[in-house]
Amino acid sequence: MARNLRVGLDRAKAQPTRPNRPIPLVFVNWKTFPTKRTRRRRYSDRFRHLIVRGAIGVPPPAVNCTLYGFAHNPWKVGAVVGIAESADITWVRSKFLAGLSDETRRQLLNRARLRHYAPKKDVIVKGEHPDHIFLLKAGRMRSYILTEDGREIVLLWATPGEVLGLVSLLPSPPNYMVNTTTITACDLLVWDHDTLRELATEHPQIMENGFRLAIYHLSAYMKRHVDFVTKSAPSRVANQLIHLATSTGEVRNSGININITNQELSSLSDVGYFTTSRILSKWQRNGMLAKNRGGVTLLDPESLMAV
């Protein structure tokens, strides 16, 4: 798969592009899709979340692709299964901005301040008074809590479009309940509590979006608990790797790279550190992935999806 990705991306870069319209193309191994239409349709649900952000460019006019649709592959190496948004505008599709009129969205964004944070910097500290709300525009962050014995439990792996500090929407918010730290250099849109309360009072859709986000995170934690009770440790680790590959994966010549440590992956998967290390070592011996300093490279995502 790594070879097919590499050849497909190299050929994609060679295609003529139109200026000011960078659109990453999405590739997967064409061999994973049967040729018969009925069988291919059955495979679509299995691979609909396997999105790999790859080469920047615009598809040739002859390629008429719809999101998650299947099209004839003009490069005859990888199948074009969708077109993903450019990384620098992904935040615009944030659930926090959903349903807002153009005028309301303009007012909201005009009242925000843009802040840049270096890697490994605290943005939110548990126990402090919540006087700001943050929308991640670029970069990656993690939210976590510390156990009594000092272990870190990762609750959220934040990507562009994620909103942090939702409690600031309340008139008298409780203190921050988690810590949030940058993983990479990050750009955040920041609103102070008074400004956001004023906007939310004037535009109730903002408050409704905050409530919907809270329910979304609650449902995600419910699913995580169900997985902990019903699924095996290897299955939880594999599911987390696939999820991270679709949200933060970076296509390289060697495969799909995920910038995460064994400790962070074990915490997100609710699996012990040493168990996670043994699982990754086994998969590395089987050629499914390659471990590297501070990250994991997926070589055979299809096999991980079957775990």
* Domain edges within the chain: 2-84, 89-229, 231-305
pLDDT of residue 88: 59
Give CATH superfamily name and number for 89-229. Answer: Jelly Rolls (2.60.120.10)
Instruction: Output the tens digit of pLDDT for each of the chain's 307 residues.
Output: 444 333 333 433 444 433 333 333 333 333 343 444 433 333 333 333 333 333 333 333 333 333 332 333 332 333 333 333 344 578 888 999 999 999 999 999 999 999 999 999 999 999 999 999 999 999 999 999 998 888 888 999 998 999 999 999 999 999 999 999 999 999 999 999 999 999 999 999 999 999 999 999 999 999 999 999 999 999 999 999 998 888 888 887 878 888 888 888 998 999 999 999 999 999 999 999 998 887 899 998 888 888 8
**Alpha-carbon dihedral 23, 246, 294, 139, rounded to 10 degrees:** 50
Please report the pLDDT score of residue 2 as a whole number. Answer: 41
Which architecture does CATH list for 231-305? Orthogonal Bundle (1.10)
Report helix angle 233-248 to 262-269, nearest 10: 110
pLDDT score, position 15: 41
pLDDT (0 to 100) of residue 48: 36
Beta strands, E only, 52-129: 53-57, 78-83, 113-117, 122-124
**What's the rounded Cα separation, in Å, for the pair 179 and 141?**
10
89-229 and 231-305 have identical folds: no
pLDDT of residue 285: 92
Handedness of CA 188, 192, 197, 198 (dihedral sign): negative
Task: Give which of 25, 22, 52 is closest to 251, Cα–Cα.
Answer: 52
Q: Which residues contact 253 (CB under 8 A, 6 or more apart)?
A: 2, 6
Report phi then psi at 93, rounded to 5: -90, 20
The whole model's pTM is what? 0.66
